[in-house]
Amino acid sequence: MSAVVRTGSLDTPVAACPGWDVRKVVEHTGFIHRWATHAIRTRSAPGRGDVTPAGEDDDLAVWIVDGAASLIDALGAVDPDADTWHPFPFEQKTWVWGRRQAIETTLHRWDVQSACGVEATIDAGLASRGIHEFFELGMPRILQKAETGPPSASLHVHCTDVDGEWLVWSDDEQYRMLPVHDKGNAAMRGPAQDLLLVLMGRLDRAEIDIVGDAEAADSWLDVGTW
């Protein structure tokens, strides 16, 4: 992201984040790094004034790296299983921040590189962990915010290049997920990077292999992104 800031145009629109340009994505990512760092160090939710956004005089190429370095230092200073605060309906442990920020930063790095015409890839292993996180943290939060239940059909998602399989379904209108090989009403298959990008609304679903009940797959893909 720092390299994109140094070599690209900050006002380039970012298709994956409608209404945002490169500057906005970088400022958002750096702010979230600092927001997460505050939560890790204090074990509490940041309040107004606890985190300072980028200023007009900040060199964004340096500012984004400084925030990431502070975040890495904060994560390295505590046990991954230490208690913390985060906004997700999941156990309040520090390791959640490490995974969340690694994946969020990777996706936004992909966003700005793609926007500026730079070849962008995502490590397959990290992408697989991102898919797991999406079904473990993202989908419950999406459903919670929408105040709705999960689709009635089941969906199997299968990485073809690295380990990673999941089944998501509704049990008495309650969301359920297991990282297992099992048959669903529909199945999505493809490289981990492509599956993650589809789930996160950054790649057209036509780019992956969908078998079985296409409407069942659509019902999950149309729930939303986070």
Asked whether 71 and 37 are in contact (CB, 8 A), the reply is yes
Per-residue pLDDT at 226: 79
Per-residue pLDDT at 95: 98
Average pLDDT over residues 13-26: 96
Under DSSP, is residue 31 helix (H, G, I), strand (E, B) or coil?
Answer: helix
Average pLDDT over residues 173-202: 97
At the fourth CATH level, which superfamily is domain 2-115?
A: dinb family like domain (1.20.120.450)
Asked whether 170 and 176 are in contact (CB, 8 A), the reply is yes
Residue 186: strand pairing partners: 155, 212
Question: In the structure, what pLDDT confidence band is assigned to residue 110 with cuts at 50, 70 and 90?
Answer: very high
- 3-state secondary structure string, 132-201? HHHHHHHHHHHHHHHCCCCCCCCEEEEECCCCCEEEEEEECCEEEEECCCCCCCEEEEECHHHHHHHHCC
CA-based nearest residue to 53, from 73, 31, 76: 31
Average pLDDT over residues 126-133: 98
For the 124-221 domain, the top CATH level (class) is: alpha beta
Is pLDDT at 224 greater than 90 in this prediction?
no
C-alpha–C-alpha distance, residues 129 and 29, integer Å: 19
226's tokens:
């986070």
* Residues 50-87: tens digit of each pLDDT: 999 999 899 999 999 999 999 999 999 999 999 999 99
Per-residue pLDDT at 46: 96
Question: In the structure, what pLDDT confidence band is assigned to residue 96 with cuts at 50, 70 and 90?
Answer: very high
Per-residue pLDDT at 225: 81
What residue ranges do the domains of the chain occupy? Answer: 2-115, 124-221
* Residues 34-50: tens digit of each pLDDT: 999 999 999 999 998 99
Q: Chain-wide mean pLDDT for the chain?
A: 96
* pTM to 2 decimal places: 0.95
* Residues 130-186: tens digit of each pLDDT: 999 999 999 999 998 888 999 999 999 999 999 999 999 999 999 999 999 999 999
Strands 186-190 and 209-212: antiparallel
Asked whether 5 and 64 are in contact (CB, 8 A), the reply is yes
186's tokens:
């529909």
Per-residue pLDDT at 89: 82
Asked whether 136 and 90 are in contact (CB, 8 A), the reply is yes
